[in-house]
Amino acid sequence: MKTIILLPKVYGAYRGRLLETIRSEISEMVAELDAEITNLGTNNKNHIKLVIQGEDEEFVFNTLAKEYGKCPQSDTLSLDKTYPGQLVDVGKVGYGLYSDIGIINSRRMDALIPLHQLRNQFELHSSMRRIAETFVLVENLPVEVDLTNIDLYNNKVEAKFNQSTLSRITEWMHDDHERLLIFGANRSDVENSLKNTNHREDIYEIEQLGKFELSLRCKRSTRASGILAAIGPKLRGVPMHLFIPKELEAKKLAKT
């Protein structure tokens, strides 16, 4: 019997449906193997947690770790690695942002991206709140971070955004397409909601940011707010965020 905690997080109004998606995917993967999923749920930070049992459990364990990503132990952290994570507790503190990179064998330990680091990386000397609003740094946004300090004795980790995350945000800011970010939903549910409201043709591209985190890149003639108004009632309780480059650029340039 082996227990594994995977990086993807399951949360929100569709939590049960998302877990069933994972169960279905993994069951299909192990169908021809001597292994079964005897328990599936989440840990206290909403990361997927499951128990594998059978002769092939070690093979399945390694396959799942490769396919989904495995939560790291604190003593394996390295300043030379890039860690995928999701923003958490956004807006709760004014001294920075926290990214949950899945550290499991300690009391809560998320990677702090200090305000001075954010000001430097985004070239905006402003408050935490304004930086978050300007670049749509919101709860559960998938990001990649590079660790800058590891202090296991005091249970603290500091980080900065990896260039891949900065490049993505910069690219979005200079794009002439508006975006709608949807967190905590299956791609199939989002696709169905677009089809049911006759808006699938208004979406240029659906980008997969995380396992259950999507970015809808609208066509140039389409307003993201219109898509939100249309599919919001179909995905009730699922967090959605507008990313409108012109409005965000104006925020960035504002004097206040």
CA atoms within 13 A on the CB side of 55: 3
State the pLDDT at residue 103.
94
Indicate the pairing of strand 240-243 with strand 179-183.
Answer: antiparallel
Domain 74-164: top CATH class: mainly beta
State the pLDDT at residue 254.
85
**How far is the CA of 151 from the CAs of 79, 112, 170, 235, in angstroms?**
11, 12, 31, 41
State the pLDDT at residue 105.
76
State the pLDDT at residue 108.
75
CA angle 58–53–40, rounded 5-degree value = 105
The closest alpha carbon to 90, from 67, 124, 113, 72, belongs to 113
What phi and psi values does residue 60 have, to the nearest 5 degrees? -65, -45
State the pLDDT at residue 256.
58
Per domain, the residue ranges of the chain are 2-68, 74-164, 175-253
What tens-digit pLDDT sequence spans the chain (256 residues)? 999 999 999 999 999 999 999 999 999 988 999 999 989 999 999 999 999 999 999 999 999 999 999 999 999 999 989 999 999 999 999 999 999 999 987 677 999 999 999 999 999 999 999 999 999 999 999 999 999 999 999 999 999 999 999 999 999 999 999 999 999 999 999 999 999 999 999 999 999 999 999 999 999 999 999 999 999 999 999 999 999 999 999 999 887 5
Domains 74-164 and 175-253 share a fold: no
Measured CA to CA, the distance from residue 211 to residue 89 in angstroms comes to 20
CATH architecture of 175-253: 2-Layer Sandwich (3.30)
